[in-house]
Chains A and B, each alone.
Chain A
Amino acid sequence: GAVVSQHPSRVICKSGTSVKIECRSLDFQATTMFWYRQFPKQSLMLMATSNEGSKATYEQGVEKDKFLINHASLTLSTLTVTSAHPEDSSFYICSARDDDRREFFGSGTRLTVV
């Protein structure tokens, strides 16, 4: 099946710094990718929809200036958490949609801001 690679799997950063997370579709092209956030023992919450070649669509309550999304190619989307603070610590998951509208998920990134 289709594979989505997400890196890094785990990152610790200092408060005030920025962190970039990459999401790649390895064997298919994805016009649309999604970024989710998952809190402990909770479901996935959609943060934004990333469309290749255009601006991302953010969900209500998600700060677009804090969570910068770039979808520069059909196989790569990046999420940059800018000026990270401890409250941004979370598990971030990306997914990529194929031509058959199936969504394939990355393995997630555990972000800890200290």
Chain B
Amino acid sequence: AQRVTQPEKLLSVFKGAPVELKCNYSYSGSPELFWYVQYSRQRLQLLLRHISRESIKGFTADLNKGETSFHLKKPFAQEEDSAMYYCALSGSGSRLTFGEGTQLTVNP
């Protein structure tokens, strides 16, 4: 079975502050991890995936297999980063399992 846990439903930070959205997973094999973002009134869109090891909009995420985590980080949050963020896992069955999501609010 595969499971994704995002412990924080709500996260509020001030503009310019660092932000970290936590994601832990449970999967017996080698997972593929993703972060998806949904801005207000927009569709869900891919933010980044662990195999790409890229930085999108200043966000990064490192897969830590020892801690089974894939936390999303940004050193300096911007107001336009306010959105709902979903961590997702794809296992051998190829289906995506989503976490419950974290609503990030960046205050001015």
Contacts and interface: CB of A to CB of B under 8 A. Distances in A.
A101 B32 contact: yes
B46 interface: yes
A107 B39 CA distance: 12
Assign chain B's interface to a size class: 10 to 19
A32 B94 contact: yes
Contacts of A46: 95-97
B86 interface: yes
B95 A43 contact: no
Size band of the interface chain A makes with B = 10 to 19
Q: Is the interface of B mostly helix, strand, loop or mixed?
A: strand
Contact of A42 (B34, B36, B95, B100): B100
13 contacts: A34-B95, A43-B98, A43-B101, A93-B43, A95-B44, A95-B96, A101-B94, A102-B49, A103-B34, A104-B45, A105-B45, A107-B42, A107-B43
Interface of A: 32, 34, 42-44, 46, 49, 93, 95, 97, 101-108
Given A42-B100, A44-B98, A49-B94, 6 more contacts: A101-B32, A101-B90, A103-B34, A104-B45, A107-B43, A108-B43
